[in-house]
Structures are given as structure tokens and as C-alpha cells.
Amino acid sequence: MKIFKIDLIPGDGIGVDVIREGRRLLDHIAGISGMSLEYNELPWSCEYYLKHGKMMDEDGMDKLKEFDAIYLGAVGYPGVPDHVSLSGLLLKIRRGFDEYINLRPVKLLRGAPCPLRDVPREDIDMVVVRENSEGEYANVGARLYPGTAQEVALQTGVFSRKGCERVIRYAYELAKKEGKTLTSVSKGNALGYSMVFWDEIFREIGQEYPEVRTSSLMVDAASMFFVKEPRRFQIVVTSNLFGDILTDLGAAIAGGMGLAAGANLNPERKYPSMFEPIHGSAPDIAGKGLANPLAAIWSVSQMLDFFGREDWGAKVLAAIETLLTEQKVLTPDLGGTAKTKEIASAILAILKR
């Protein structure tokens, strides 16, 4: 039997609360699906940084590398500057393991609340393919003349041909496989180098996929259409920063941050891929049992798909939908009074039915 090895990085705040429940679900599934799981739990977090002066061990990436997947909660907490904690852990993993695809479903499940009026549920059903290794997040820049009136901060976007081609091709392949439309979101009218380049590559690669229906939108217009006409979108491909922003907006129209999941994929499987809820550490509700673990549970479903167990991936997603439809056990963000742990227990109970 294949043993799947999973690195657990609960991280900070509610990351700890939700990964605990996600792991309970994984254990349950392993017990009944004939899948064997092995874990390696790592304490890397802001608390770890305050004790050790680093977000992960020196040989941290080597330790992680031996595993099939990483299951991460959230990184960042008051007391450590966000750019230090994130670039020392989450972003380091995304870049270092060349997880250049960030797949974020924006799907309004039955029973999930939607703040939009008169929008049929089926209209909100898309997958955002976010570039995840370069672009605006390349971390290239400088601070000049610090502390003077001439002080300057430079932050350079890096859009490589290889980097753009591979994410755009991935999105075309996905659209072709699923028979869906593909929308590229960029901003060529203002960013005359990087985004014009992106748009050119989107058209170039499109020549190889005559069967895929495409459109190209500016990110400002795309944001407006996410709210006004979400049915326009099926597969969306976009840059790192635009994908970050659009998927919080996507979360808002599809049930909230407590339901938004994401997979950071290295499609070649040379390195582990990483599965995480897209929300942060939510210091306002951390440790109180108020966090909704459904986003973390949805990322378990993505991990199971990645392991080739789409049967279980689908069962987990269906269990989330059943829970939402029944409206009995919900956390406060979804209008209920249940605790984090009770949500996971209810999901287990649904899977046992």
C-alpha cells in the first residue's frame, strides 16, 4: 500500500485550530479508505521565531522535501513583522518548491451564504489559477536613502517567459479538459511592460487551443464583474497579486473566508505541493474555538485529489455541502453557534452515514 507522507505546519493563530480538525478528518479517512498516512508535525510559526530567531530550521526545506504534501494552517501574528514571517515560511515554501500554480476554487456550495442579490447559485462556480512563484511577489527591490527626505522604495515585478507560459498553459489545459471558458485577468493599459507581455503570451498560447473560448479583462473590470456577473467566469488565470486579491473577493461571494481553500501545486511533482485555507491567522478569533475549519477541510479534499483519491476528495466536498445545507452545525461566521471542533465532528458523522 502506498504511504502518503504529509508535513503538518499549523503555524499561527487559527491555523492551529483548523489544522487540528483537518488532521482528524485525514485520520478518519485513512482508517476507512485503505490509504496509509504518515505525518511530520513542525512547530514553525511566529512563536518559534520569537524563541529561535528564524521561521524554520536552517535545513527546513530539506526536511520538508522528503514528503508528498504539506498541510499548512496560517502564518503571521502580531509581534513579528508580516514580511518577515511570510517570506521566512509560506512564501519561501511556495518559491523554493516551485509551487507555481495556486488553484483556488470559487464555488458557491448549496447552503453557503452569498451577499449578492438575485444570483443563481450555479453562477458562482469558477477556479482561479493564480501564478504563484514570481510576478509582483518576486521580492526584488531596494530601499534607498533610508530615513531621509529623498527616501525611495523600489519593488520590481518579475514576469519571465517561462513563468508566464507555464501558468497560462496550465490554465488552457484545465479549460480544455473541463470544457470550460478561460478568462485572463491583467492590466496592460497601465502596466505597459509586464502585463502587455502577459497578454501577448496569453494570445500566443491560445493558438495551440483553438477549442477553448477565451476572454481578457483588466483586473478592475474583472473585480466589478465578479460581483455583478460572476457567471462570466469559469477558469480564470491571473498574476500573483491580482490572484491574491481576486480570491478574497471570490471568497466573499462564495460563503466567506471560512470556506475558501487553495492548493499550491508543483505540477511536475519534483517537490511537495502545499494545501492550505486561504485565510490568515485571524488573531481576533484565534484559540477561541470560533474559527470555521471548512476551508481547511476543503483543502484536505484538494489534497486527496492530488493523491489520486478523487473518490474521497469528492466525498469530503459533498460532506461540506451536506453540512451547509442542513444548517444545523455552523460556526458564527456562517450564522451559527457551533465551535471549530463540532464542525469537524459533524463532517465525520456525515461521512459515516
Binding partner of residue 23 among Mn ion, ligand IPM, ligand NAD, none, CB cut-off 5 to 8 Å per kind? none
> ∠159-208-237 over CA atoms, to 5°?
40
For 65, residues 6+ apart whose C-beta sits below 8 A from its C-beta are 97, 271, 272
146: exposed, middle or buried (Cβ count in 10 Å: 0-12, 13-18, 19+):
exposed
Spatial separation of the C-alpha atoms in residues 37 and 34, rounded to whole Å = 10
The Cα–Cα gap between 272 and 11 comes to: 18
Name which of 14 and 320 has its Cβ closer to ligand NAD: 14
Binding to ligand NAD, residues 249-268 (CB under 6 A) = 257-258
Positions 14 through 43 that interact with ligand NAD (CB under 6 A): 14
136 sits near ligand IPM (criterion: CB under 6 A): no
Q: Are 61 and 91 in contact (CB under 8 A)?
A: no
Tell me: does residue 317 bind ligand IPM (CB under 6 A).
no
Contacts of 269 (CB under 8 A, 6+ apart): none
284 binds ligand NAD (CB under 6 A): yes
Of residues 245 and 314, the one with the C-beta less far from Mn ion: 245
* Number of residues in contact with ligand NAD under rule CB under 6 A: 21
Least distance to ligand IPM from the beta carbon of 241, Å? 8
Total number of residues that touch ligand IPM (CB under 6 A) = 6
DSSP codes of every residue in 71-105: EEEE---TTS-HHHHHHHTHHHHHHHTT--EEEEE
Q: Which stretch binds ligand IPM (CB under 6 A): 1-9, 20-28, 85-93, 219-227?
A: 85-93
> Which residues, in sequence order, are bridge partners of residue 262?
276
Cell triple for 68: 508528498
Please tell me whether residue 99 binds ligand IPM under the rule CB under 6 A. no
The residues in 295-324 that bind ligand NAD, with binding defined as CB under 6 A, are 295
**Helix ranges (DSSP H) in 112-193:** 161-178
CB of 277 to ligand NAD, least distance (A): 6
Does the protein bind ligand IPM through residue 86 (CB under 6 A)? Answer: yes
> Interface with ligand IPM by CB under 6 A: which residues?
76, 86, 90-91, 244, 278
* Residues engaged in binding ligand NAD (CB under 6 A): 14, 74-77, 82, 86, 90, 257-258, 276, 279-282, 284-285, 291-292, 295, 333
